[in-house]
Structure 1
């Protein structure tokens, strides 16, 4: 029956009665009929699955201190480019503002811990959104993250060059110094994640030594000269200010001081590279030093010799923030490539170190382009950075709300109170509004760069849709079909659309419930440009009675997608799943499944699949 139907289809397309195109065929929209098959995994497949699983586990190379160091240099260096602006609006109340700003991270820590315990996957919060919502929403998060990492790199490099130019006479402009920092840390990042983490740890150790020396010198200076200068500053600034004016100064200082906490959002970007149970400790290691140093930094005093040392330390730590941005962006861009948003070339690595060199160079070029587009204006980049960072931080509690609503069965090691979730969202919104009130142009720069990135992601994700519009426009102009130059365009566009939709995706299913299968295929149709779909069911001997019949129904219901059904005898576990991915030549990032329950015995990260339904 199926063969005869297929023969009929070759004569009359199922879309022929409702063809959108007046002069051209729409046969390319029919994907063909699916098939039903049984697969037995070979020893070679199983061995390859074991190799891939071991490779994943070997990537967990970062302990709590090296993982902390990668982001800590950014979060501790943030104080150097926020202090001037905070002092300008907060005055003597700046230490209070910075301390309160750092306190807000107590809201985010439990939120981020719960998210990572449920989905310990790199590239967060893009990967969180990808597993709890649609791909379009996830790409919005990816755009914010990419802007955040780019702004981290640009602001850190430009501020480091500015600090250096303030102490010595440079033979070149400040923006050239920023470019030199780009180049230097590009090569450092090509040494691989492990070596980069060691460099970051060394810089962090140097920063700790300098801070200890500064604290000791300041205590000695206070002992000799007393607190007269601090008392005088406080008294002079305090005179004539109403309580409302003081509160406004403190609030404005908090709004600007939040930018000094940048780097905290970078740790989730490389979660899967951390050893087990390290992530909560990393968040603690990032938060507590920031809580202390950001608020007391401006109270510390030193002589000329120590001042030079602090400036050198600031330059080095800010440069290390460039490394944080590059490595975090690499994890994100690699995930985007695995999810077919970016070309597969972004996965190319340096054989000796495993560093994704195409990704590194592309991100640095993107950051340099953003820097150049502002005329090397650090103020503009900083304004955009503030809003982007707050938007990224708001994504974490939003992701947790979506996770609890759409994936309530997903296992997790910790669960935070709703107070922390709503509190984090409230703080992010309030501080963002406060920054816009201080300088309304901040929203304009943020919107401009975000829209540009979203347009680029939309084009990348919807190539077939855009080609279909071009095909339609070509169909509406029949006179073009007769011109020698444009005569074969229709066939060329159809071939290109078929080629783009040839990428296979896989649905991992447990039951034969047709409503569940229907919803999963709908997800694929709305989120992936493919015409090739495989439904895979692992079994121990018995298969669901209605699965074959339901697969045929779904194959008929979605003529634009070839629905193949494959039965695999064996246990559903990470090793066998990796073996199937190797056999089918389908990356696990394009394998989708329902949310596992609380009793599921394997970590979600080891599966490497996408969760698309409850």
Structure 2
């Protein structure tokens, strides 16, 4: 059994991404909100506080890898969940390429002989190798980077405070007397919108929750929230105390290095430069780990090709990481290191994922109200969180209208791949009809083209699905078959009731299933009475006996009296 991540390891992996935000988000907030930037950053911290509860409720109820995709897969249609998956993969690609490139650029500023693009590719290759070796090994690197980063920030803030006490508040008062373009409300809104970039990475922990020890996930949310709430507003405020706003605007790409040089000289500026290169590299690791958990789940659910599930001896899905590395390198080479375009993808994609996670929480409350969960978000907090993130998307589009068009350029081909996998049986059937029309004489070319398509269709449709029940009435069972018919490609569904000694099946259950078998002529509905006790062991036994993966088995939402937690059942999906 693979080693699970403890609190420090799990926090370090996602924490490097979100904590690296101070390298750019404090300056961004000052550019748009001026002297009120620290307030904008505190507003972001409030929104993130609400999302702590939102993520805590969803992942607590459904503690499986996949983040927003998993939340929506178990509460709504598979196509909606696929949209969330595509957006998350886009977000990770943009994060990995931007973070790697910026890390190398910081290193290049320290040692100018470093060639940016070749070293960027080399760094991506290094982290691909680390995650293929295993998440446990990569977490050790993440911890070292995370702790060094926190120490560097504490040193920077400490020397900035010393500089403030020694040199007085003249710069601070001068900055606070600077006129704000558009008024305070506009400045706060635009500053808030730009500053929402500072919580990228918060969604990552949910994508590898299965690799974390019990009870660790909510602690990672708390720890990330504390880091963002303390350091981002504090650094923005200290920057306003020791550096004129005009200087911040001119040096926004390296604000913390300028702060270090101002507060204590070149040594501190060099320390911050080294820290920036390291922690941005750590954010790349976050992307690899997060996308690994997500794409594995997508492949298991037949949204990505099954071949991606091949494993190394240590259990790592190496082809997922090789594919992700290839996609990142292709984007880097296409843009030739000019990554301004990716900022639009990065911004809109990850903010959209957060909105979809909020929608997943809403659907969980409505459609899965019986499902036990360790904590609940309030309705008010849910609406505030979702509306605030939607406002941030609007604000970013106002700030950079071209971002939306660039985002669509990347989103459309990504969705094309995902939705081809999702609807490939319908596409194959249409193609067969076109062949029938184009080749009325059914010649040898027609046979050659038709044979592989028919073979692919049969291979997809032969996958069986299972629904466990012991008392559901015909209306519930109809919903189950309707969902499977609309969301999965199959010709066979087993409806299984597990009976212990002395138990009997529900009245009319057999007749109801016979009725449904006639109502769904394209699906063979088989009713099976299985002796034993329903639980994790029985599910594993049936999965092995019937060669049906556990993620193709469904149950209704269990209530509080159900003796098992949902994660104990493996990757069983909730359907009603």
Specify if TM > 0.5.
Answer: yes
Are 1:507 and 2:467 matched, yes or no? yes
1:186, 1:360 within 8 Å by CA — same for their partners in 2?
Answer: yes
Residue 316 of structure 2 corresponds to 355
Residue 432 of structure 2 corresponds to 471
Residue 224 of structure 2 corresponds to 286
2:193, 2:395 within 8 Å by CA — same for their partners in 1?
Answer: yes
Match of 1:372 among 313, 333, 352: 333
Higher relative contact order (Cα pairs below 8 Å, separated by 6+ residues): 1
Residue 25 of structure 1 corresponds to none
Q: Name the CA shift for 1:440/1:537 in 2 (closer, same or farther; >3 Å).
A: same
1:81, 1:159 within 8 Å by CA — same for their partners in 2?
Answer: no
Give the drift of 1:612.
4.2
Q: After superposition, what is the alpha-carbon deviation per residue over 1:326-379, rounded to whole angstroms, capped at 9, x for unaligned?
A: 00000001101111222222222221x322211111111122233334443221
Task: Give secondary structure in 1 for the equivalent of 2:311.
Answer: coil
CA distance in 2, matches of 1:218, 1:82: 18
Give the drift of 1:274.
1.9
Residue 92 of structure 1 corresponds to 35
Give the drift of 1:133.
0.4
Return the TM-score normalized by structure 2.
0.91
Query: How many residue pairs end up in the alignment?
Result: 550
CA distance in 2, matches of 1:212, 1:511: 60
CA distance in 1, matches of 2:29, 2:97: 20
Question: Runs of 4+ in structure 1 displaced over 6 angstroms?
Answer: none
Residue 319 of structure 1 corresponds to 281
Range moving further from structure 2, 394-403 or 213-222? 213-222
Give the drift of 1:180.
2.0
Residue 125 of structure 2 corresponds to 183
Task: Give secondary structure in 2 for the equivalent of 1:413.
Answer: coil
Q: After superposition, what is the alpha-carbon deviation per residue over 1:558-583, rounded to whole angstroms, capped at 9, x for unaligned?
A: 22222222211011111111111111
Match of 1:81 among 5, 10, 24: 24
Are 1:531 and 2:469 matched, yes or no? no
Return the TM-score normalized by structure 1.
0.86
1:407, 1:613 within 8 Å by CA — same for their partners in 2?
Answer: no
Are 1:272 and 2:210 matched, yes or no? yes
Q: How does 1:474-493 map to 2 (within 5 A)?
A: 474-479=435-440, 481-482=442-443, 484-493=444-453
Are 1:328 and 2:328 matched, yes or no? no
Range moving further from structure 2, 363-372 or 403-412? 363-372
Residue 570 of structure 2 corresponds to 608
Match of 2:173 among 231, 245, 250: 231
Are 1:387 and 2:348 matched, yes or no? yes
Match of 2:190 among 240, 252, 264: 252
CA distance in 1, matches of 2:163, 2:452: 77
Q: How does 1:399-548 map to 2 (within 5 A)?
A: 399-479=360-440, 481-482=442-443, 484-511=444-471, 513-541=473-501, 542-548=504-510
Q: After superposition, what is the alpha-carbon deviation per residue over 1:125-175, rounded to whole angstroms, capped at 9, x for unaligned?
A: 101100000111110110111111111111111111222223331342x33
CA distance in 2, matches of 1:189, 1:496: 32
Give the drift of 1:488.
4.8
Give the drift of 1:101.
1.9
2:26, 2:233 within 8 Å by CA — same for their partners in 1?
Answer: no
Where in structure 2 are there 5+ consecutive unaligned residues?
Answer: 239-258
Residue 42 of structure 1 corresponds to none
Give the drift of 1:472.
0.8
CA distance in 2, matches of 1:497, 1:219: 67
Are 1:169 and 2:107 matched, yes or no? no
1:148, 1:385 within 8 Å by CA — same for their partners in 2?
Answer: yes
CA distance in 1, matches of 2:391, 2:216: 31
CA distance in 2, matches of 1:306, 1:334: 42
1:593, 1:609 within 8 Å by CA — same for their partners in 2?
Answer: no
Task: Give secondary structure in 2 for the equivalent of 1:75.
Answer: helix
Task: Give secondary structure in 2 for the equivalent of 1:567.
Answer: strand
Q: Name the CA shift for 1:196/1:490 in 2 (closer, same or farther; >3 Å).
A: closer
Range moving further from structure 2, 217-226 or 527-536? 217-226
Q: After superposition, what is the alpha-carbon deviation per residue over 1:387-412, rounded to whole angstroms, capped at 9, x for unaligned?
A: 11111111222111111111111111
1:512, 1:546 within 8 Å by CA — same for their partners in 2?
Answer: no
Structure with bigger gyration radius: 1
